[in-house]
């Protein structure tokens, strides 16, 4: 085994161990949490190794980059996690099994239209700006409540759940109120409509353990897996 692969395996074991421990703390099963490895900071040489290391859910922020990297790991389930422009929807649907970052009704309508043309159902998460930061993409909770009936009527899409990003912070506990808020919003929308909304995508390298404690089914982890892999 190369040194690169040893380091990678050590990082994966560490992150997976933290996820499992956080799940147990919250009375959840570790198997209910999927680690999405965000490859945007990973060296190219690492991508073909990931399947052998047990990582089969991979994420990228941009459709173009996702398509490039997909050639290096064609059998993985690819997740698009970054802001999607409406003119990139076709590329995104061709490549990604789940889009985490549907942040407006206009984008949702565009995805529906393209998915209809392609004859398939797009699996999506709606991104919610729980913390209310001006620079963040996503529906505000009130906007989502107001548009919820419209969202549900849109064809060719499966609304699988919700996604959020916590404010940048050195203190992981900063993420707890928005993550809890996302879960409560999901519970509220679920009760109102009966849609399962089973997926909650919340948690990155700095705060994925909090995400798991608060109910995440998907955590999006990049730098904790890939940073410094190539430094001697």
Ligand X SMILES: *Cc1c(COP(=O)(O)O)cnc(C)c1O
Interface ranges with ligand X (CB under 6 A): 38, 40-41, 61, 81-82, 165, 204-206, 220-224
Q: At what angle do helices 105-118 and 141-153 cross, to 10 degrees?
A: 20
Q: Euclidean distance between the first and final Cα of the chain, in Å?
A: 16
Q: Nearer Cβ to ligand X, position 64 or 121? A: 64
Q: Nearer Cβ to ligand X, position 81 or 89? A: 81
CA distance 213 to 225: 20
Comparing every residue's Cβ against ligand X, the nearest one is 222
Q: Nearer Cβ to ligand X, position 99 or 204? A: 204
Distance (Å) of CA 57 to CA 26, 60, 130, 205, 229: 23, 11, 25, 16, 19
Q: Nearer Cβ to ligand X, position 130 or 204? A: 204
Find the shortest distance in angstroms from Cβ 172 to ligand X: 12
**In terms of Cα–Cα distance, which of 231, 101, 85, 89 is closest to 165?**
101
Find the shortest distance in angstroms from Cβ 136 to ligand X: 10
Find the shortest distance in angstroms from Cβ 27 to ligand X: 25
Q: Indicate left, alpha or beta for 194 from its phi (over 0: left) and psi (-120 to 50: alpha).
A: left
Find the shortest distance in angstroms from Cβ 40 to ligand X: 6
């Amino acid at each position: 085994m190369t040194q690169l692969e040893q380091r990678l395996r050590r990082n994966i074991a560490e992150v997976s161990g933290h996820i499992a421990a956080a799940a147990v703390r919250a009375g959840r099963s570790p198997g209910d949490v999927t680690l999405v490895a965000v490859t945007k900071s990973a060296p190219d040489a690492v991508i073909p190794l990931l399947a052998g290391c047990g990582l089969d859910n991979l994420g990228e922020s941009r459709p173009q980059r996702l398509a490039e990297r997909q050639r290096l790991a064609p059998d993985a389930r690819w997740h698009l996690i970054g802001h999607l422009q409406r003119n990139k929807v076709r590329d995104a649907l061709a490549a990604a099994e789940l889009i985490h970052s549907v942040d407006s009704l206009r984008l949702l309508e565009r995805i529906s239209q393209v998915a209809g043309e392609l004859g398939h159902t797009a699996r999506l998460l709606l991104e919610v700006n729980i913390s209310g930061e001006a620079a963040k993409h996503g529906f505000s909770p009130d906007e989502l409540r107001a548009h919820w009936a419209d969202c549900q009527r849109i064809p060719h899409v499966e609304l699988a759940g919700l996604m959020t990003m916590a404010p940048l912070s050195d203190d992981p506990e900063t993420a707890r109120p928005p993550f809890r808020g996302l879960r409560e919003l999901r519970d509220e929308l679920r009760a109102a409509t009966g849609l399962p909304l089973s997926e909650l995508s919340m948690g990155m390298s700095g705060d994925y353990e909090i995400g798991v404690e608060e109910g995440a089914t998907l955590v999006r982890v990049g730098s904790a897996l890939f940073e410094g892999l190539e430094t001697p």
